[in-house]
Structure 1
Amino acid sequence: MKNEILLDAPNLGELEKEYLIKCIDSTFVSTAGPFIPEFEEKFAKYVGTKRAVSVQSGTAALYMALYELGIGPGDEVIVPVITFIASVNPIMYLGATPVFVDVDPETWNIDPKEVEKAITKNTKAIIPVHLYGNPCDMDGLMYISKKYGIPIIEDATESLGATYNGKMTGTFGILNAFSFNGNKIMTTGGGGMITTNDEEKAEHIKFLINQARDASRGYYHPEIGFNYRMTNLEASLGLAQLERLEEFLNKKRRFAKIYMENLQDVKEIKFQKEYENAESSWWLTSIKINSDKSISEIQSELKEKGIPTRRIFVPIVEFPPYQKFKTSNYKNAYEIYERGLNLPSSTVNGYDSIKFVAEELKNVI
């Protein structure tokens, strides 16, 4: 292939330049100005929640969600063992304890049966992660949430545009987190968003992320606050990307379909599976390969052909700060990690590039 194949690079063009110039010309480039409230309003409308509060990252979104629920030392938060580290670090920031559970072997997402087994009197939240854009079993999780009175915080950082029972991810939990990092479906360069139907919590979080400043009394701060605000520059970029979001989602889903069509006869390959009533955003099309070759060997051979890939996330309990929390062998998660691979999914790629990747992967295996 003549064109470079990209794993997860952002898709930026003339519309993004137009919005950024508009923001610069307005001089509202920092955290005060019209672009942030417009972005928040349009984002909330898109996903289908009453409110959206912009923050500096997906990590900040998860942290503020946990903080707003009053989670701290002595509290436990249930999380899947296979996810990006940012799903778990905010629990530790607050002095709470992460409780890791195994994932479903087909969807790779948190297993509700394992969640229920892990509940104790100290469980204060459940964080399902829609891994690689694939929605979790929200029916099972919401049943558990209601049964035990434990709030759900969705980590929807990878799943913008994905749906479960026709409802967007990031709308099921009491507070939910999205990420706009450079490699996500849409980007603001960095940045994140909290979505909620709780107006009171949204207002309080918006207050807290602005250093908990009571502007009616000048520089008066009745609570400990944070500087987690998004900038107008980021929000202007977000507005442009939001206009193109359906274009990005359609392309991601088409990529997944091309991979599946071209690799359906390769018995060694299994795709991450969607629940019957779910539609993934396919942020990253991901597969499990059962062959005599190691994943590292396969990656190396693909790299020689100009094809970038990425390993599946390492089970969190492998990292030194989290090894003490290992309570199981997490059989499914380790198998997915050992045999799993993310394929090129950047919307900068063309359809011919994706077909080329599929053919070369077939040859390598």
Structure 2
Amino acid sequence: MIIDPIIPNGPSITHHEIEHVTSACATGWNMRASSYTNAFRQLMAQVTGHKYALALSSCTGAMHIAFNALGLKHGDEVLVPDLADFSVAACVIYCGATPVFCDVEPDTLCLSSEDAASKITPRTKGLIAVHLYGQPCRMEPLLDLAAKNGLFVLEDAAQGIGSSINGRPAGSFGHFSTFSFKGNKSVVSGEGGILLTSDDRLFDLAARLAAGGRTPDNPFAYDFVGFNYSISTLQAALGFAQTSRLDELIAQKKQIHSWYSERLSGMPGIRLNAEPQHCQPSFLTNLLFIDAPSIQRVKMITQLRASNIIAEPVYFPISSMPMFKQAETPVAYAASTKAICLPSGHNRTEEEVDYICRAIQQVMKEPGRDKAQIPLTGWLKYKSDSLEFFARIKEEGFIIPFEHEGHSCELRVVTAANTQDAKLVETLTRWREASAAAFLTRTEVTEQTMQQILNNYVSALRDYVLFFIFSDGYLYGQVALNDFAFQKHECCIDGLYIEDHAPKGLAAAACETIFAWAEKSLEIKNIFNHVVASNKKVRLLAAAQGFREISRTALYKEKIPGGEIFRPMYMPGHDTPDEYLLICKKSLSSKEIYDSK
């Protein structure tokens, strides 16, 4: 069984984001340097309902500026949930103040208003409400507590974008709120943060602090020492593009949670993220709470990782770190030993979630196991079966016979043994040199480099299957299938080469044979062909076989050591492309064809 690691996080990046970042890279300078930054700010203000927004380099920087604008200083105290990212406490310390660690609620893992109330002293100046793992805080009791005691409220919504409380978005309640767009969040900009407020005075001060302390009317004069937490135009462009897809991205997160919930809810000894009344989580991360005393979290994480499921522990309490004194926060400490972060990236599929849940159920029932042994389903099974088949035929050999013009022909899979055949490597080197114009990277080809390429095809690239084309026992060319999109049952044809003296029509016949085999034996629905526009011979052959151009990309030529490479020209502008890459598609029919698998 072959299953790749199912990783914890991962963004959803589309051509929409690439287009905006490319535009920012090409045009976002000088007079237009702030265009995407301003657009990002305005969009986040619209999302939260705040009046003002500052786009900054990180959520940590945003919190640091917020505390300075709020006047936090040495000797002050701030109520901080003990279960949170370390930066929450670090920003308090940056200002010379002291974080006072409070316990969290058992269902949400967010700040407990009851415990926070018990830890207020005359030095307490504010509290930080952290919307943890996409689970919104219960804001009403925290706001009441702050109002009664004259405290500021900073909402750390780094993980809370898309969550809501009583229909109001997380990040819309505090004197300040902050968001993170790090790569493991629901909305990403690589790195980056947003600081929001509706208070005119606080925004003015925060904006000046973020500008380094500059005098508003003179960019070369400074009134005080501020900070440089600027976000780049490229980050802002990505953040803007992602935020414009917010509803779609949060819907994906909720869909993933629903798959977990369908399979794990009601199972004795465990529970998932809570959905408290009047709160709507955004499910940045799906949490698995282990209530069964017989199940050890560390053991389960190890068992899941051995099953290629990369689960992670929740945060350790901040007060457990060596620079602090351990706080009396029993719920936080208990959660840190009994909760697991399940893979929740945007690209998780239902088959992956099903595999994860069945693995959890198995190790719960059989805690002595080293790992789960679960049969795969859906596209995961299809991928595993296909890759195992490819590995076997590249080791043992495989032949697809066909006839052409009365001649006996074969497609033979290139095997590990073939890579050691010096004469064969010499032939492939000659073919590569003769077809150099078909490759986007054009460098000197030697038998040594061809040996490396061939070894890579056979050993390293699991979904690359190279065939030799024989007719009456003579070797005339090659063709390959690669880049399998297993979820879609699609792949590409690649590496087509045929000798000039080969029987007429042999290349076309070999391609038709491999198409028929791919449809019948590999269940391929669509095949793609990537061809440079100047390769007229292959273009005409592809058109004759039913390939239709679906897109083309302008390319520019760049010199590299030992040759040249063609790269995408995302914004051609007034430049003339040096080449074009055509992407062509062929949909396979369901006619009766030869099955040799």
Say if 2:199 is the partner of 1:198: yes
302-311 or 200-209, which deviates more: 200-209
Say if 2:152 is the partner of 1:167: no
Distance in 1, matches of 2:61 and 2:311, equals: 28
Identity among equivalent pairs (%)? 28
Aligned counterparts, 1:86-105, within 5 A? 86-105=87-106
User: Cα distance 1:143–1:42, how it changes in 2: closer, same or farther (>3 A)?
Assistant: same
Higher relative contact order (CA 8 A, sep 6+): 1
User: Cα distance 1:27–1:163, how it changes in 2: closer, same or farther (>3 A)?
Assistant: closer
Alignment counterpart, residue 304 of structure 1, candidates 300, 303, 306: 306
267-276 or 135-144, which deviates more: 267-276
Contact kept, 8 Å, 1:135 with 1:274, in 2: the verdict is: no
* Secondary structure in 2 matching 1:6: coil
Match of 2:40 in 1: 39
Stretches of structure 2 that go unaligned for 5 or more consecutive residues are: 365-597
Distance in 2, matches of 1:120 and 1:199, equals: 29
Distance in 2, matches of 1:327 and 1:17, equals: 46
- CA drift of 1:300 comes to 1.1
Distance in 1, matches of 2:112 and 2:41, equals: 32
Match of 1:51 in 2: 52
Contact kept, 8 Å, 2:5 with 2:310, in 1: the verdict is: no
State the AA in 1 paired with 2:360. L
User: Cα distance 1:29–1:126, how it changes in 2: closer, same or farther (>3 A)?
Assistant: farther
- CA drift of 1:105 comes to 1.4
- TM-score after normalising by structure 2: 0.59
**Greater strand proportion:** 2
Contact kept, 8 Å, 1:104 with 1:111, in 2: the verdict is: yes
Match of 1:68 in 2: 69
Match of 1:276 in 2: 277
Distance in 2, matches of 1:68 and 1:274, equals: 34
Contact kept, 8 Å, 1:29 with 1:233, in 2: the verdict is: no
The total of aligned residue pairs comes to: 362
Match of 1:357 in 2: 356
Distance in 2, matches of 1:218 and 1:303, equals: 53
Contact kept, 8 Å, 2:264 with 2:271, in 1: the verdict is: no
State the AA in 2 paired with 1:317. S
* Secondary structure in 2 matching 1:105: coil
Distance in 2, matches of 1:305 and 1:30, equals: 53
Distance in 2, matches of 1:89 and 1:355, equals: 39
- CA drift of 1:21 comes to 0.9
Match of 2:427 in 1: none
Distance in 2, matches of 1:109 and 1:121, equals: 24
- CA drift of 1:110 comes to 1.0
305-314 or 349-358, which deviates more: 349-358
Contact kept, 8 Å, 2:53 with 2:197, in 1: the verdict is: yes
Contact kept, 8 Å, 2:52 with 2:203, in 1: the verdict is: yes
User: Cα distance 1:218–1:190, how it changes in 2: closer, same or farther (>3 A)?
Assistant: closer
Distance in 2, matches of 1:218 and 1:99, equals: 38
Distance in 2, matches of 1:212 and 1:348, equals: 42
Distance in 1, matches of 2:106 and 2:218, equals: 55
State the AA in 1 paired with 2:318. I
* Secondary structure in 2 matching 1:270: strand
Stretches of structure 1 that go unaligned for 5 or more consecutive residues are: none
State the AA in 2 paired with 1:332. V
Distance in 1, matches of 2:267 and 2:31, equals: 51
Root mean square deviation of aligned Cα: 1.6
Match of 1:122 in 2: 123
State the AA in 1 paired with 2:300. I
Match of 1:246 in 2: 247
- CA drift of 1:197 comes to 0.8
- CA drift of 1:27 comes to 4.1
4+ residue runs over 6 A deviation: none
Match of 2:225 in 1: 224
Distance in 1, matches of 2:299 and 2:187, equals: 31
- CA drift of 1:293 comes to 3.1
Contact kept, 8 Å, 1:10 with 1:182, in 2: the verdict is: yes
Contact kept, 8 Å, 1:270 with 1:289, in 2: the verdict is: yes
Contact kept, 8 Å, 2:28 with 2:233, in 1: the verdict is: no
Aligned counterparts, 1:289-300, within 5 A? 289-291=290-292, 292-300=294-302
